[in-house]
Structure 1
């Protein structure tokens, strides 16, 4: 007879996500996960697989929670350019906040730590970036169609520039004690939308 799980796998996954997000993949050991999740090593393996599989599931959870928020933010009806500007400023503000300095962005952290040598992590990073770029492109194309963005501006190129800038802002925000760096960079980038 199979034993009933004595923990909530959904809550454990969320807890693992928070630990990986705060500490990174390499700095988080199975012993750390056992202690943080409050469940045994065998329960972790039986439910989530090894540490790498758990990390990938945590990344998926992160995207599942963040992506709908980005979609809602960037696909609001009405003028599109103010929505894009607000999203860029929000990213800069988050990157400059004390909490973000501790954690950063899980996707950006994974891009720096694992993507160069971990194909599964790299696929998730690329998927997240493609999704964000598509949302930005769609909003910027709408802005150009509505006359908010000059006709000579390329919505795809602008979306890519903003994606790269915002990922850089996440890195600099995590490492810098000067919040003006990220805010000034964001405001300078927004002048390209004028």
Structure 2
């Protein structure tokens, strides 16, 4: 009879996710994973699969977390434009508080160009986030708070693309105030 697992699946997944987040996928070895998860190799393989399978599980888990973050932030009371601004600020503030780029952003640059499975997962996640933003933008346009003739889809894509730019600026300058000023500029431009 198989032994019951004596560890919390999600807790270990989060632990190794943070390792991938810190070191990157390519620099993380199975030895690192075993040491970080404090499990033997066979338990890891039996429960999570190989390194790539484990990474996909971590990435999927993180993508679900980000989608929940966007959805929760989008439900603030008030007008759609207020909810949109709140989502933007919430994402940027979370990144600055974590003091690291979003795992999805890191993975886009490191892994997605050469890994179709990862790329597909990230596209699906990006589409979900984009949809949340697009719905808020469409409502804000309907309310008259966004006057731009640019489509809600293009504005949503632009907002998502801006997030990685904020982080790259912060890495180079280590100035949160400058990043927040850029966010202010973005939110002003969206309303035009």
Of residues 173-182 and 123-132 in structure 1, the stretch that sits farther from structure 2 once superposed is: 173-182
- 2:108 aligned residue (103, 111, 130): 111
More off after superposition, 3-12 vs 51-60: 3-12
| 14-23 or 69-78, which deviates more | 69-78
CA drift at 1:176 = 4.2
Say whether residues 1:133 and 2:126 are aligned partners.
no
What is the distance in 1 between the residues matched to 2:128 and 2:172?
Answer: 26
TM-score by length of 2: 0.89
Q: CA deviation at 1:165?
A: 0.8
- When residues 88 and 123 of structure 1 are mapped into structure 2, their CA distance, relative to the original with a 3 A threshold, is same
Structure 1 residue 62: Cα displacement? 0.8
Q: Mind listing any 5+ residue stretches in structure 2 that lack a counterpart? A: none
CA contact under 8 A between 2:89 and 2:183: conserved in structure 1? yes
Aligned in 2, Cα 1:163/1:38: closer, same or farther, shift over 3 Å?
same
Give CA-to-partner distance per residue, 1:53-77, whole Å, 9 cap, x none. 0000001111222212211222445
User: Does the C-alpha gap of structure 1 residues 59 and 50 become closer, same or farther in structure 2, counting only changes over 3 Å?
Assistant: same
- CA 1:5–1:96 in 2, change beyond 3 Å: closer, same or farther? closer
Work out whether residues 73 and 90 of structure 2, in 8 Å CA contact, stay in contact via their aligned partners in 1: no
State the secondary structure of the residue aligned to 2:113: coil
Structure 1 segments, 4+ long, off by >6 Å, are none
The answer as to 2:142 corresponding to 1:142 is no
How many residues align? The count is 191
C-alpha root-mean-square deviation of aligned residues, in Å?
1.9
User: What is the aligned partner in structure 2 of residue 47 from structure 1?
Assistant: 47
TM-score (norm 1): 0.88
Greater RCO, CA 8 A, separation 6+: 1
Map residues 37-186 of structure 1 onto 2, 5 A cutoff: 37-76=37-76, 78-97=78-97, 99-100=98-99, 103-150=100-147, 152-174=149-171, 176-186=173-183
